[in-house]
Structure 1
Amino acid sequence: MTLPAAIMIDPAAAEQEWEEARNLMVDDQLRPSEISNPRILKAMRSLSRQDCVPTAQQALAYADVSLPLGEGRVLLQPLLTARLMQAANPLPGQHALVIGAGTGYSAALLASLGLTVTAVESNAALSEQGQALCSAMSSVHWVRGPLSLGEESHAPYDLIYFDGAISTLPAFCHIQLAADGRVVGLMHKAGDLSELFVATPAPEGTTGFILTRLSEARCPLLPEFVPSRSFAL
């Protein structure tokens, strides 16, 4: 049985519409907002963001909004992802750890920028979708496991990238980050408000990280990094 011609979908025409949507996203949202890294702009013109959201959300895949993925998780709005990527300064040949990889968009972006990527996701449904998106990318190693532990077997990493907000830097960052590496993500402030940050190891002979706070953004906490509540009597 064939569909009537009036409602048949032309794959070539559909892909052209998605390509136009990606170009509008870059030219109307990213470039006017000081996203100037040409490699990042090129990658975001190419990667199929619509494959990273539920079917019902695909029409909004390139809109300037974060999109719900279920269970409190979101696909970050394009501009926020671009700002994180630009702050991360990903370079070809480097090794990145993506925490909270979700449906794979940021992991796929980093891979398309020439990095080897270890992507960690704890949510079964999101992990399945993310693995499918990255299945053709040999430079992406997908791990389903707890976000709070990172992934020691592939450390050290030049870049640890949190694809969502955290309340504090987890302990694994101290162990799994290369000596000259950096951590990028969103540090929770209050409600759904966070700050984009870049953290680098403190100078030799000292401990901890030097944290540089950048622009504010609205982003939910990754579930495993929600602080536990304490009660005082």
Structure 2
Amino acid sequence: MTFDFPHARELMVEQQIRPWDVLDIKVLDVLARLPREEFVPAAHRKLAYADVELPLGQGQKMMKPVIEGRTLQALDLQPGDEVLEIGTGSGFLTACVAALARDVLSLEIDPELAASARANLDRTGLGNNARVEVADALAWQTERRFDVIVVTGAVDQVPSQFASWLRPGGRLFVIHGRSPAMEGLLIQADGSSESLFETDIDYLRGAAPAPQFHL
């Protein structure tokens, strides 16, 4: 018996995404259309629409669908936006962002994950306007500026260079803080910020808090 992915996708949107206050029609439409199962490792495909994080290998995980939905809604992507994504992972959020914006540059520190994400995007025919680059965002340098930056792993402290890559009027979404009490934060190019929701996800590699030693 074949698994009914379209039905599972519909249930995900109606029973997980909407109830978590994701009401942006553009975001709901993208999540209802894009085949998330194509971005999930084969062993976990039947869990593609479950309310769980999924292992991607290399010690990394795919965010829960509700976090992806809240993230996309926070970005308020416009058709002309140029986006920097920090942490490609499976490439699924990359595909969602690419469907809503003009251009996406996605940085992935792990070469194997970067190659897998690119293969996922190519196989599905999604993300033709997305480029995946192997890079450590904490050491990366660029003269380019972006309308939107989205960070898919948590940070203990928001690196100052992230906001410096924004264009005037741009916005940066990042999950910030100490586990288990982290917050989704939207930072504007002018330095103002807004706390959007609480969550708890894995840290971006190199962005975890320094170990605390207690006598």
Structure 1 length-normalised TM: 0.84
Change beyond 3 A, Cα 1:220–1:115: same
Alignment match of 2:135 (pick from 141, 145, 158): 145
Which amino acid counterpart does residue 88 of structure 2 have in structure 1? A
Which amino acid counterpart does residue 13 of structure 2 have in structure 1? V
Identity over aligned residues, as a percent?
27
Q: How many residues align?
A: 212
* 1:183 CA displacement: 0.4
C-alpha contact (below 8 Å) 2:82/2:101 kept by paired residues:
no
* 1:26 CA displacement: 0.5
C-alpha contact (below 8 Å) 2:83/2:101 kept by paired residues:
no
C-alpha contact (below 8 Å) 1:164/1:219 kept by paired residues:
yes
* 1:126 CA displacement: 1.2
Larger Rg: 1
Matched, 1:19 2:6: yes
Which amino acid counterpart does residue 139 of structure 1 have in structure 2? N
Task: Give the corresponding residue for 1:162.
Answer: 151
Structure 2 length-normalised TM: 0.90
Which amino acid counterpart does residue 116 of structure 1 have in structure 2? D
Quote the Cα distance in structure 2 between the aligned partners of 1:223 and 1:114: 26
* 1:227 CA displacement: 3.1
Alignment of 1:107-146 (within 5 A): 107-135=94-122, 136=125, 137-146=127-136
* 1:231 CA displacement: 6.3
Task: Give the corresponding residue for 1:226.
Answer: 208
Matched, 1:39 2:39: no
Matched, 1:199 2:180: no
**Over residues 32-58 of structure 1, what are the superposed CA-to-partner deviations in whole Å (9 max), with x where a residue is unaligned?**
222111111110111111122211111
Change beyond 3 A, Cα 1:150–1:93: farther
Which amino acid counterpart does residue 164 of structure 2 have in structure 1? I
Which amino acid counterpart does residue 43 of structure 1 have in structure 2? V
* 1:150 CA displacement: 4.7
Which amino acid counterpart does residue 20 of structure 1 have in structure 2? H
Which amino acid counterpart does residue 165 of structure 2 have in structure 1? Q
Gaps of 5+ in 1: 1-8, 203-208
Which amino acid counterpart does residue 144 of structure 1 have in structure 2? V
Change beyond 3 A, Cα 1:152–1:21: same
Quote the Cα distance in structure 1 between the aligned partners of 2:213 and 2:16: 44
Quote the Cα distance in structure 1 between the aligned partners of 2:28 and 2:79: 15
C-alpha contact (below 8 Å) 1:166/1:222 kept by paired residues:
yes
Quote the Cα distance in structure 2 between the aligned partners of 1:167 and 1:74: 18
Change beyond 3 A, Cα 1:174–1:36: closer
Task: Give the corresponding residue for 1:6.
Answer: none
* 1:117 CA displacement: 0.3
* 1:104 CA displacement: 0.6
Bigger mean CA offset, 45-54 vs 115-124? 45-54
**Over residues 144-186 of structure 1, what are the superposed CA-to-partner deviations in whole Å (9 max), with x where a residue is unaligned?**
1112145625x21000100121112223223311111000021
Gaps of 5+ in 2: none
Quote the Cα distance in structure 1 between the aligned partners of 2:68 and 2:35: 14
| SS in structure 1 of the partner of residue 206 of structure 2 | helix
| SS in structure 2 of the partner of residue 164 of structure 1 | coil
Quote the Cα distance in structure 2 between the aligned partners of 1:64 and 1:224: 27
User: RMSD of aligned C-alpha atoms?
Assistant: 2.1
